[in-house]
Every structure is written in C-alpha cells, then in structure tokens.
Amino acid sequence: MKLSIIIPTLNEARCIGRLLDYLIEETLHHNAEIIICDGGSIDQTKEIVLSKKNVRFTLSEKKGRAHQLNEGAANATGDIFYFVHADTIPPKHFVNLIFDSIQKGNPSGCFRYTFDPPKNMLRINAWFTKFKGFYAGGGDQTLFITRTVFEELGGYNPSYVIMEDFDLVKRIRKKYRYIILKDPALVSSRKYQHNSYWKVQWANSIAIIQFKMGENPVKIKEGYKKRIKTA
C-alpha cells in the first residue's frame, strides 16, 4: 500500500515547516508521498514547502479547503489518502497505525487529539475526541480513507465552504465503517489564543447544529466568522 498525505494550506508559514519536517522523518522508511495543495498564500508558505525534499507543491485552481483537498487527491498516486491540517501533528508511527487499521477492514478513520499547549479546559475537549459523538468528524482529527471509497463518494463537496470534513464523514458513516484510533494527534490551540474558551465553544456548537439542521454552508461560515477571530 502507498499513503498519500494531503495538506491544504493558505498562509501557513508559521506551521508548515514544523509539520513537514515531522512528516518527512516519520515516512522515511515507508511507501508514502506528501502533497501540499495551496490556496494562494501570500506569505512564505510556498518557499518553505519548496525548500523541503520529497514534498510536492501544487497550487489549487480555486481557493477553499474542499477544492484544495480534492485537487490534492486528484494529484495523488497512493492507495490511501490521509488528509491533515497544517497546524496538526499526527501521532508517532501514524503510517503503521493507518496501514494496520486498513488491513483490519476499516476503510476510513481518524485519530483522537490533544491540544498544544494543553490548557486545562482544552483537556476536556480533547477527552471527548475519542468518542463518535456530537463533535466527531472535524478535520483536526485528520482523516484517512482508501482511494476507492473516497472516489466512490465523490470526495469533498465544494459547496461546503465550511464543515466540509463533517459532510464527508457523514457520508462515509452511512455506508462504511469509520473508526477513531486511540493515539492522539497534536492540534494547535491558536484559535483559543485569539478568543475566549467559551466563545470558541459557542461558535463551534452553533456551526455544528446548523450543519446538522441542513443550513446553507455559506451562511454557516458567515456566522462563524462573526462570532470568533480566526488566526
């Protein structure tokens, strides 16, 4: 099996170098590729990516995470896709963990996560990510999925300008097994550095409720951007 790690970026110069160094080290002895699909960054993201060996940089024709993830997948050569946010560090030995899970008959899944830094209230949030509950399915948990299932489902829906990850996981779970692995990824808490804990919780909860009620993704995004400051 070959793993294609696909990372959407937009002005991620602060995070992307650390992530790529980690991924390069972790995939050194594995059949894997790393693909960056950029949405038109105006910072040093592209320069940082191009300075790394064995990392492919592609520029998306359209800005937007769903578009970028789909384009990254279209340029991938792997049997398994692994979608990772630029500010998230997968767990140690994630390649073996993903391969093992696929071989056990799980065509898709994710990891639970913890925060960096792990502030007190955020430990509560992290604890809940091991369950398939209300918040399960967000992109911070990363997502692995076989190419066959991804293509059958049509990939990410570009109309979801927000919640594109929840939409795909919802469609996966209607037909296939979706597993949450116990090893935690490490997610940046930068959103909480610009907003209070409760403000972020409120904004996230409203967005998820609107998604589950079938609200227009454009309206969900507009409301979300009004409620919190994004990094």
Average pLDDT over residues 111-134: 88
Name the nearest CA neighbour of 141 among 88, 73, 105: 88
Q: Which two tokens stand for residue 121?
A: 């209230």
Average pLDDT over residues 89-95: 98
Whether the predicted pLDDT of 120 surpasses 90: no
Average pLDDT over residues 109-113: 96
Q: pLDDT per residue over 13-31, tens digit each?
A: 999 999 999 999 999 999 9
- Give the whole-number percent of the chain exceeding pLDDT 70: 99
User: Mean pLDDT across the chain, nearest whole number?
Assistant: 95
Domain ranges of the chain: 3-188, 193-231
Average pLDDT over residues 194-205: 91
| CATH class of the domain whose range is 3-188 | alpha beta
